[in-house]
Chains A and B, each alone.
Chain A
């Protein structure tokens, strides 16, 4: 149930970060955007070198649209399964969201209504996907700036029911928990107290910024102190098996990224990965 146990602090591998990631002496795991891996055959050389060094690689899908009312595209599922085989992945992850409907692409993750019908849609698609996957699937709740008007379930009820019915693991994005609570005027601890934290496979941490009164989970800004504090609160309740920093653009100097990775270590108590162990 915890394929990333002992992997500690990781980082989302991106081509632009390839050189930075290659020089992290304590690194034990990375994520790679599943759709960025080639359809068949070899992973990029830099990823292959990480694999050879014993770093676990987790394909992270962003375009499966597991929350779509339409059946998940079998070709996309096959690609995710193939990506997992290509990097010998211990697990794969995707989102509780939809990204297209009626042939129109949204271009990013969109929230679902918290309805029984939406739970059924996610469960049906997760069943379709996991039938083709050789490894466990972790599901990630998203951040959204709006909600559907007629939710039947609380967020905790919605997520818990999906996880229980699919037997999927939880990929908890602590920055998404922070973003949603802040934008809704809620206390993020309320959600942490009601989620099945024992199902966590790993945790995402990312940066964001406030724009016109709303917190945007941009992945292109520094990780706010409030998000790191919330990560600490999470660890006080249940320490996740592993934690991963996501940065998707406007890349800062290496020293700033190393400081963010070290902050993740400090908040979780996992070993620092930016310096060689021991001595």
Chain B
């Protein structure tokens, strides 16, 4: 199957313009109700924040009770979604968590996955050991084993 539009008109271009306006900070195409589009942008950010909170529960909790949707949305507005794993990772790199549980969540992700910040994270291969906050994190056969020291 080849790519490209399935239909002869300009639907593909118009759909792309609208997505870019909704999630990537581009101008709203002419003719749309600006207030309704803005409400949709906010709703999309909120759903995205909920999705990221499912992938990164400790990171979301570290924002404080009820504060994650607003904090994540403020950071994510105008940035195209990259999926909740990468969105949360990018957020955590831009806002390094000081909360111990959130920092541990990030350390465990880093133990198992290699993420260059621009392409999909890839599983790291081979065994490895790291020290994180008085805890030994081991990667063994693609899984994390953790040992609290003392």
Chain A residues, CB < 8 A from B145: none
Tell me whether A124 and B12 are in contact (CB under 8 A): no
Whether the Cβ atoms of B11 and A113 lie closer than 8 Å is yes
B20 beta carbon closer than 8 Å to chain A:
yes
Q: Which chain A residues lie closer than 8 Å to B12 at the CB level?
A: 68-70, 101-102
The reply on B32 being an interface residue by CB < 8 A is: yes
A115: interface (CB < 8 Å): yes
Cα separation A246 to B5 with both chains bound (whole Å): 33
Contact of B47 among A107, A121, A125, A148 (CB under 8 A): A107
- The docked-state distance in angstroms from the alpha carbon of A42 to that of B43 is 34
Cα–Cα distance between A71 and B3 once the two chains are bound (Å) = 7
- A104 to B51, alpha carbons, bound, how many Å? 17
| Contact between B19 and A145, CB atoms less than 8 A apart | no
Complexed CA–CA distance, A214 and B33 (Å): 13
B20 surroundings in chain A (CB, below 8 A): 102, 104
Residues in B1-42 with C-beta less than 8 Å from chain A: 1, 3-9, 11-12, 14-16, 18-20, 22-24, 30-33, 36-37, 39-40
Contact pick for B31, options A102, A115, A150, A212, CB 8 Å: A150
Residues on A with beta carbons closer than 8 Å to the beta carbon of B3:
70-71
Taking A69-B6, A71-B3, A124-B7 as contacts, is the C-beta distance between A101 and B36 under 8 angstroms?
no
Contact, CB under 8 Å: A107 / B23: yes
- With a cutoff of 8 Å between Cβ atoms, the chain B residues found around residue A101 in the complex are 12, 15-16, 18-19
CB distance A70 to B6 under 8 Å?
Answer: yes
Tell me the nearest residue of chain B to A249, going by C-beta.
B50
Nearest Cβ distance between residue B89 and chain A, in whole angstroms?
A: 16
In the complex the two chains form, is B19's CB within 8 Å of A106's CB?
yes
A134-161 CB mask vs B (1 if < 8 Å, else 0) is: 0000000000111111100000000000
B-chain residues with CB within 8 Å of residue A21 when the two chains form the complex? none
Residues in B with CB closer than 8 Å to A108 are: 43-44, 47-48
Contact B7 A117 (CB under 8 A): yes
B131 adjacent to chain A (CB < 8 Å):
no
Contacts of B127 in A (CB 8 A): none
Q: B143 to chain A: closest CB distance in Å?
A: 17
A105 contacts chain B at the CB level, 8 A cutoff: yes
Interface residues of A in 86-137 (CB under 8 A from B): 98, 100-102, 104-108, 110, 113, 115, 117-118, 120-121, 124-125
Q: Given A69-B6, A106-B19, A150-B31: A145 and B14 within 8 A (CB)?
A: no
CB distance from A212 to the nearest CB of B (A): 7
Given contacts A71-B6, A101-B18, contact A148 B32 (CB under 8 A): yes
B19 x A110 contact (CB < 8 A): yes
Decide if B128 is an interface residue (CB 8 Å cutoff). Answer: no
B81 beta carbon closer than 8 Å to chain A: yes
6 more A-B contacts (CB under 8 A) besides A69-B5, A71-B6?
A100-B19, A108-B44, A115-B9, A121-B7, A147-B33, A147-B36
State the A residues within 8 Å of B (CB). Answer: 68-71, 74, 98, 100-102, 104-108, 110, 113, 115, 117-118, 120-121, 124-125, 144-150, 211-212, 214, 216, 220, 249
What are 13 pairs between A and B in contact, CB < 8 Å? A68-B15, A70-B6, A74-B1, A110-B18, A110-B22, A117-B8, A120-B6, A121-B6, A144-B40, A145-B39, A147-B36, A148-B31, A214-B39
